[in-house]
């Protein structure tokens, strides 16, 4: 790259056509000497991995020299980089002695090329982030955002051995548990017979058996035993000829009354 491409037209280039591309370089536009080197490398229009470090050094030194002739104030970083690049140029042009303890010039050039590639990658990422849609500028959020619904799904991690062990523990707990049986309240047949004999002795009309048994049901669990025992006792009274039973339909109430002037049924 020529110096005129950096500094624009000089005094003796005023007759250049206005259509020619002109590049004006301002040192204030660069963040440092590496940024300037990256711009110079781009002007070579080659891949950074194939860039000519020697040619890049010559362009940088020419830029610094041109800036001095124009009496531009350069930062110390640019001057330090110029000195180091001048040293690198001398190492690239002059073969180093075999017994030299200084680093190889090729390694120094490769390190510089790697720095330029990293800088290019960072700047590319910065441009990509800058070009993304910005909230409240290119895109807008919802006025009333919906809450995020959290759904927890339990994940069990157990082997077949763990399952069998847990099942065995549950079974063992049930086997060893204490079993206690509650005593059932039962209405004896003698009690039911005595109660029905009192009913039959005073009842000459049909009476609903369940209405009479309510007085003997003091707890809900006694309902079954009272009704079953009373039915058995009433059948015995009918068999002996002392009472009569009547039921008009299936599941209908059972009626009971005393039987008079009838001989007891003989059992054979």
Domain that includes residue 79, residue range: 4-96+103-131
Q: Which of 131, 146, 177 is the last residue of a domain?
A: 131
Helix (H) or strand (E) holding 240: none
pLDDT of residue 164: 92
Q: Which of 88, 115, 131 is the last residue of a domain?
A: 131
pLDDT of residue 44: 59
Whether residue 198 lies inside any domain: the answer is: yes
What does residue 257 show for φ and ψ, rounded to 5 degrees?
-155, 165
pLDDT of residue 42: 64
Whether residue 163 lies inside any domain: the answer is: no
- pTM for the full predicted model: 0.33
Whether residue 171 lies inside any domain: the answer is: no
CA distances from residue 255 to 87, 204, 229, 246 in whole angstroms, order as listed: 129, 12, 16, 5
CATH at residue 220? 1.10.10.580
pLDDT of residue 238: 87
pLDDT of residue 97: 66
> Are residues 196 and 77 part of one domain?
no
Cα–Cα distance, 147 to 157 (Å, whole number): 31
> Are residues 123 and 237 part of one domain?
no
> Are residues 110 and 205 part of one domain?
no
Q: What is the largest CA-CA distance in the chain?
A: 159
Residues forming beta bridges with residue 249, ordered by sequence position: none
> Are residues 127 and 194 part of one domain?
no
Whether residue 142 lies inside any domain: the answer is: no
Whether residue 35 lies inside any domain: the answer is: yes
Whether residue 184 lies inside any domain: the answer is: no
Whether residue 79 lies inside any domain: the answer is: yes
Cα–Cα distance, 256 to 268 (Å, whole number): 25
Cα–Cα distance, 230 to 12 (Å, whole number): 137
> Are residues 194 and 116 part of one domain?
no
CA atoms within 13 A on the CB side of 14: 2
Whether residue 57 lies inside any domain: the answer is: yes
> Are residues 200 and 124 part of one domain?
no
Collect the ranges in the chain with pLDDT lower than 50. Answer: 1-29, 46, 264-268
pLDDT of residue 32: 57
Q: How many domains does the chain have?
A: 2
């Amino acid at each position: 790259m020529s110096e005129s491409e950096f500094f624009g037209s000089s005094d003796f280039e005023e007759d250049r056509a206005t259509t020619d591309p002109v590049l004006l370089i301002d040192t204030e536009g660069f963040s440092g000497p590496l940024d300037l080197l990256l711009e110079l490398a781009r002007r070579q229009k080659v891949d950074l991995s194939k860039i000519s470090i020697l040619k890049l050094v010559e362009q940088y030194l020419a830029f610094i020299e041109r800036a001095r002739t124009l009496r531009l104030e350069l930062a110390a970083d640019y001057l330090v980089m110029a000195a180091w690049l001048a040293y690198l140029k001398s190492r690239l042009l002059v073969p180093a002695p075999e017994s030299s303890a200084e680093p190889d010039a090729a390694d120094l050039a490769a390190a510089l090329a790697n720095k330029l590639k990293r800088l290019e990658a960072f700047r590319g990422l910065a441009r990509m982030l800058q070009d993304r849609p910005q909230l409240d500028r290119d895109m807008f959020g919802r006025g009333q955002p919906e809450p995020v619904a959290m759904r927890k799904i339990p994940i069990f991690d157990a082997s077949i051995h763990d399952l069998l062990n847990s099942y065995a523990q549950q079974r063992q707990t049930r086997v060893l548990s204490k079993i206690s049986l509650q005593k059932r309240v039962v209405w004896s047949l003698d009690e039911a017979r005595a109660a029905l004999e009192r009913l039959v002795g005073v009842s000459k009309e049909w009476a609903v058996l369940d209405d009479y048994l309510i007085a003997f049901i003091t707890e809900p669990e006694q309902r079954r035993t009272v009704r079953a025992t009373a039915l058995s006792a009433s059948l015995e009274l009918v068999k002996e000829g002392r009472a009569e039973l009547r039921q008009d339909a299936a599941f209908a109430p059972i009626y009971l009354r005393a039987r008079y002037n009838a001989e007891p049924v003989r059992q054979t």
